Amino acid sequence: MNMKIEMPVLPYADNALEPVISRETIGYHYGKHLQNYVNTLASLVKDTPWSAKSVEELVAEVPEGPLFNNAGQTLNHALYFTQFMPAKADNQPTGTLLELINRDFGSFDTFKEQFTQAALTLFGSGWAWLAQQQDGRLVIRKESNAGNPLRNNETPLLGIDVWEHAYYIDYFNRRADHVQAVWQIINWQVVADRLKG
Ligand code: MN
C-alpha cells in the first residue's frame, strides 16, 4: 500500500456486516472515529515536510505523539475496514496463506486460539495483529493504542481493533463475544493479498 491521507472506501454496504458489526457501529466507527483520525492527521502534516509522505511512511518514521497516534489509527482502520465481507459459515483462509498459517502456528484452529487470546488479554485499547516478519514467518502481535507492526518493520496482514468503540454498541463489554464473531466476516483473500512476495 502507498496510502494517501484520505478515507478508505468501504468495499461493502454499511449494513453488510450485520449481525457481527451493525450499521450503527459502522456509522460511528468508520464515519466518526476514523474520519476524525484522518482529519486530524491531515491538519497535523499540513505545511510540514511530513505532508509528502505516505501514511505507511509516517507510521514507520514519525516520533511518538499525536502525529504517530493519528497516522497509526488512519492506517490501522484502513486495513481493518477493507478486510471484511458479509458473514460466511466455516470461513477460513485457503492456498498459500493457509499453508503459512499451518507452518507457523500448527493449524488454523491453533492460530485462531492464539490470536483470540492476544485480543482478549490486551489491557485497555489496542490492536491484535497477524503480521509477516522480514524472513516471511507469520507472527501474532499485541499493540497498544495506535500501534502497528510496520513500526517494527513487519507487514500487517490482519488487524482486530479492541478499542471499546469497535464493539461497545453491539456487544457492550463483551469483547470475547465480538472477537469470536469477527472470524465470520474476515475476507481472507484480502488478507492473503497483503503477503509479501
Ligand atoms: Mn477503532
DSSP readout, 106-170?
SSHHHHHHHHHHHHHH--SSEEEEEEE-TTS-EEEEEEETT--GGGGT-EEEEEEE-SGGGTHHH
Q: How is residue 127 written as a grid cell? A: 490492536
**Nearest CA-CA partner of 191 in 94, 112, 117, 71:** 94
**Nearest CA-CA partner of 129 in 142, 110, 138:** 142
First-last CA distance in the chain: 14
pLDDT at residue 103, rounded to an integer: 98
Contact 147, 119 (CB under 8 A): no
What pairing do the DSSP bridges indicate for beta strands 155-161 and 138-144? unpaired
pLDDT at residue 1, rounded to an integer: 62
pLDDT at residue 197, rounded to an integer: 73
Q: Tell how far the Cα of 165 is from the centroid of ligand 1, in angstroms.
A: 6
Q: Tell how far the Cα of 52 is from the centroid of ligand 1, in angstroms.
A: 25
Query: What residues does the ion ligand 1 have nearby, CB within 5 Å?
Result: 161, 163, 166
What own/partner pairs with CB < 8 Å and gap ≥ 24 does 35-42 have? 35/7, 37/70, 37/73, 37/74, 37/77, 38/5, 38/6, 38/7, 38/74, 40/66, 40/70, 41/5, 41/67, 41/70, 41/71, 41/74, 42/5
Whole-model pTM over 0.85: yes
Q: Tell how far the Cα of 125 is from the centroid of ligand 1, in angstroms.
A: 9
CA 103 centroid distance within chain? 23
| Per-10-residue mean pLDDT, the chain, length 197 | 93 98 98 98 98 97 98 98 97 98 98 98 98 98 98 98 98 97 98 94
Q: Tell how far the Cα of 103 is from the centroid of ligand 1, in angstroms.
A: 30
Q: Tell how far the Cα of 91 is from the centroid of ligand 1, in angstroms.
A: 23
